[in-house]
Chains A and B, each alone.
Chain A
Amino acid sequence: MTGKRYVARDTHVASRLMGGEMMIMSTRDSTLFTLNGVASVIWEAADGKTPLDEIVTEQICKEYDVAPEQAMMDAETLVEQLAGHGIMIVSDQQIAPRENSEVHPK
């Protein structure tokens, strides 16, 4: 993967940080997901404007003791999985903010 990748939370989700883990519900089918602390950082940073590699280097690698290459691989896997569940959008271009998505979920 050479180009920048951008990630954004899908609008059809509800989410809340609870005890360090992100609880996410898809409002399309009421499926519930949980993310661990590291994945929650990516979820919260997924604003559609910040490239994934920047999220990894600026937020994951500074906060957690993990090699940048490994962190990037894990992040790529995570966002693909979340996109597969329909709760995250992944694009090679910036993703414009949509309805419901302006306010950062706590």
Chain B
Amino acid sequence: MQTGLMHEMGVRALRLGIPMAVQLDITYRCNERCVHCYLDHDDHGEMTTSEIEGLLDQMADAGVFFLTISGGEILLRKDFFHILEYARKKSFCVKLKTNALLIGEKEAERIRSLAVESVQVSIYSHRPEVHDAITKVPGSLERSINAIRFLQEHGLHVIIANVLMVQNFGDYPGVRALAAELGVQCTIDPTITPMMDGNRAILNMGIDRKSLAEVFQDTALVAEMPELCGVPLTPDEEVLDSTPCSAGHTACYVSPYGDVYPCVQFPYPTGNVRKEKFLDIWNYSPQMNEVRSITIRDLTNCSVCVHGGSCTRCPGLAFMEGNMRGPSTADCEKSFARTGIPSENLKRKMSSSPSLVQICV
């Protein structure tokens, strides 16, 4: 029933053209240096406190309900609690993403008093030598776990986010056990995102095809195995006329510099709130409307792919691959790992990869 109401809310927001969910990164500065991070951590001119207040006013007027405050490390901003308090006064449903290094008992209590919906904390491994090597901060696992305890003791909904990569792949059962011991939720994500400037070198840290299949075939993780991993249905007319995801439809992303994108993972500039009103960008930006105009039917490869109706294709990853109407190979790999059936894109890549080198003499 809860899912039904949430779905209904999403459908209504889509029909009314309301940006129901926004992720606002308030800084890219960070006190960790995670090896897989897609951000540049320098400050290139973050929005001021009053600029963020003005933006929150505009977003409330535009109908934004879910507000994810993320970064960078959000607590590095000295006005973090002021921003959070302001957002709550505007009655947003606030979710926080943090590494929690700066959260002690006092901060946890303050976050609780401001009625935050959830706090997501990144944990890469249950072993300090692995987690700390990824964050490049000695002692970071212990500090993050202590913070999770404080948050949990204050009754907050805490979610451990475990990004899988080559460095920590074998540790996700340990992270899940740690989450269970702490009494908090755990999510696992095998997606590594290219740098926002387009640099794709960090994708080498992504787990390989065999490991990906292991994750999708792990019965401890996947409840609906036959449904998730079964042979997909060929997309029908209804699927072909549907939209790829919520990016630009009911959700968007705002950077610390006021740049508005369809999603944090979709760095297609659509406007800047320092120059235009948030709602004007949302409603009238040609780029936002271009993203909005795309249906599954418009997608090259994917519209004729058997996975077209069930794939988790990320239009942002496709955009970073060179074409927002094209496939996202990372998601093709996930579909292949789930079902054992290659996508149209993977078939094309396989057929165009020469297995022999012809030598002419």
Contact = CB atoms under 8 A, between A and B. Distances in A.
Nearest to B15: A19
B16 A19 contact: yes
Interface string B286-319: 0000000000000000000000000000000000
Contacts of B89: 100-103
Most buried by A among B13, B60, B93: B93
Contacts of A101: 89
B43 to A, nearest CB: 29
A30 B159 CA distance: 13
B6 interface: yes
A75 to B, nearest CB: 21
9 contacts: A14-B92, A14-B117, A19-B12, A19-B15, A27-B93, A30-B117, A101-B89, A106-B60, A106-B63
Contact of A18 (B12, B61, B88, B93): B12
B117 A16 contact: no
Contact of A13 (B9, B115, B116, B118): B115
Contacts of B88: 14, 99-100
A15 B60 CA distance: 10
A34 interface: yes
Given A14-B91, A100-B85, 19 more contacts: A13-B91, A14-B93, A14-B115, A15-B91, A16-B60, A16-B91, A18-B12, A18-B18, A18-B20, A19-B12, A19-B15, A19-B16, A27-B93, A27-B116, A34-B9, A100-B91, A105-B91, A106-B61, A106-B91
B65 A105 contact: no
B281 interface: no
Nearest to A106: B60
Contacts of A32: 2, 5-6, 9
Interface string B1-35: 01001101100110110101000000000000000
A70 interface: no
A16 B63 CA distance: 7
A2 interface: no
A14 B84 CA distance: 13
B93 A99 contact: no
Interface string A30-41: 111110000000
Interface of A: 11-19, 21, 23, 25, 27-28, 30-34, 99-103, 105-106
A94 B214 CA distance: 59
Contacts of A15: 91
B21 to A, nearest CB: 11
A25 B93 CA distance: 7
Interface string B148-164: 00000001010000000
B37 to A, nearest CB: 28
Contacts of B61: 106
Given A30-B117, A31-B2, A100-B88, A23 B9 contact: yes
A12 B85 CA distance: 13
